[in-house]
Amino acid sequence: MTDTAPTGSPTTRGAADVRIELSPDAFPADSPYANEDLRPVPLAERRWTTYNFAALWIGMAVNVPSWTLAAGLVALGMDWKQSVLTIALGNVIVLLPMLLTGHAGPKYGIPFPVLARASFGLRGANLPALLRGLVACAWFGIQTWIGGQSIYFLTGKLSGAGSWWTDAGKVDGYPWTQWLCFLLFFAVEIVIILRGMEAVRRLENWAAPLMLAGAVALLVWIANKAGGFGPLLDQPSQLGWGADFWKVFFPALMGMIGFWSTLSLNIPDFTRFGAGQRAQVWGQSLGLPTTMAVFALLSVLVTSGAQAVYGEPIWDPSQLAARMDSTIGVLFALFVLLLATLSTNIAANLVSPAYDLSNLAPKFINFRTGALIACCVGVIIFPWKLIENPDIYIFTWLGTVGGLLGTVAGILIADYWLIRRTHLDLAGLYRAHSRYWYDSGWNWRALAAFAVGAVLAVGGSYSKVDGDGIKAGPFPADGLIPFLKPLADYGWAVGMGASLLLYALLMRGRERQNT
């Protein structure tokens, strides 16, 4: 054990489920690195159960981007079996770092930015926190646009507004009516997040079963109209199972991992409310991989039915629901789609930057202020442009983000599990000049491991070139750093592995000196 015993009162449920509570007199209330939102959650408030975590993941995984993931892979040449396999495997892999980083939540009651202080330093933790926060802001913009789009399509269907609704004057290529729907959805999200984490928990609890019911209802409806499934399921893979498939599979797998690599970092923001390790382990294991795999299969089945009925695959559920003849059916579809987008966007994309920005200036930015800043940033960076092209969405966006965040995850896991063996000086995470102060609040070893891992993970990033010589992305065809191009398709794994090993080696000497 390299850290001193945690300051506080431990409560033991079993050898592997110790929970630490920081006593009030040990909490440095006057510290510039502390506020009420960043302080450890008291034991009495750590009451999320297995169902709460499973419902959280169902609520986050059931959304339009998850629904259309399979579409992106089919567009790249996979058949439905290959796409579902890729999605399921990616989510099983990313579950492991989630469980490892999530362990600190129930044990210490701390959010991700505070956990990062142990490895990056009290000031240095702002680097991974802001990186994670920026990614969340971009996702927030994407999901908010999708939520507004659902309102736009289905409101036009319900109101019978006709061409004036769809052909209204355009702004940046979209009708002003669609922008109005976007702003309406944006306002609803702000109202919910301002009510705090308890409102998030309640939203996820009752949203999860309704969203699954909505997906099944859409499947039953399209199956009834189609008289069965077939056209899409019968389509052979354009890649086969040979060399062409593996060239697409590995970068696509990294993209699927990148889809939830954000949560593999900030999952302590949620597990800090857990009643124990069993709740977070079982809840996440039951909620994430199974939901993503089943949801991908549902999307393929529904789209195959749309192919049979309408003569074309319609992957966007809001556009498909808009073709329903029943007003009640359209209303239900609108409700489910909005609920799915709300539950995902608030939990996955606003909670993290709210804590991350609060960590930047604890005395000036609390959870609610951080959430409002994140909302504004998520709009002004125009992230909806990312989802217009499957190549850019899966390879450029998800692959690059996954590589960078995998690098941070490697450092967190190495520090918490290999260096400290899950033992932290809890009060020291909030105090300047503690063992986590390092050099003026920065741990250069973590920065070095991050820099090396990031270069290896994304340095070889490249854009595909089609038969006409047109690039499908912003990177050079030969890669940013040509000799690293072979690593680009494995960015998340390369970044995590490299940073984990280098950080462990660099810190081993330091901790030996301090023991």
**pLDDT exceeds 90 at position 453:** yes
Tell me which residue of 296, 360, 302 sits closest to 73, measured CA to CA: 296
Band (pLDDT 50/70/90 cuts) for residue 386 is low
More confident residue, 103 or 315: 103
Q: By the 8 A CB rule, do 137 and 353 touch?
A: yes
Q: Which of the 8 DSSP states describes residue 121?
A: -
Report how far residue 171's alpha carbon sits from residue 182's, in angstroms, rounded to the nearest whole number.
13
The pLDDT, as a whole number, for residue 491 is: 82
Mean pLDDT score of the chain, rounded to an integer? 82
393 contact partners, CB below 8 Å, separation of at least 6: 72, 386, 387
Per-residue pLDDT tens digits for 106-129: 999 999 999 999 999 999 999 999
- Among 306, 327, 329, smallest CA distance to 316 is for 306
> Between the CA of residue 117 and those of 120, 159, 404, 443, what are the distances in Å?
5, 53, 18, 9
- Tokens 């063992």 map to which residue? 435
Strand duo 170-171 + 18-21: pairing: unpaired
One-letter identity of residue 361: A
**The two structure tokens encoding residue 38:** 């960043």
pLDDT beyond 80 at 321? no
Helix (H, G, I), strand (E, B) or coil at 421: coil
Q: What is the pTM of this model?
A: 0.83
Beta-carbon neighbour count of residue 209 at 10 Å? 12
DSSP 3-state of 175: strand
Look at 356 and 79; give whichever has higher pLDDT: 356
Between residues 435 and 262, which one has the greater pLDDT?
A: 435
Of 36, 35, 40, nearest in space to 7 by CA? 40
Residues 206 and 198 sit within 8 Å (Cβ to Cβ): no
Burial class of 233 by CB neighbour count within 10 A (0 to 12, 13 to 18, 19+): middle
pLDDT at 149: 82
| Report for 229-243, 321-335, 414-428: range of highest mean pLDDT | 414-428
Least confident of 273-282, 321-330, 381-390: 381-390
pLDDT one-digit tens code per residue, 34-80? 888 889 999 999 999 999 999 888 878 877 778 777 777 777 788 88
Cα 492 to Cα 406: distance, rounded to the nearest angstrom: 5
Radius of gyration of the chain measured on its C-alpha atoms = 23
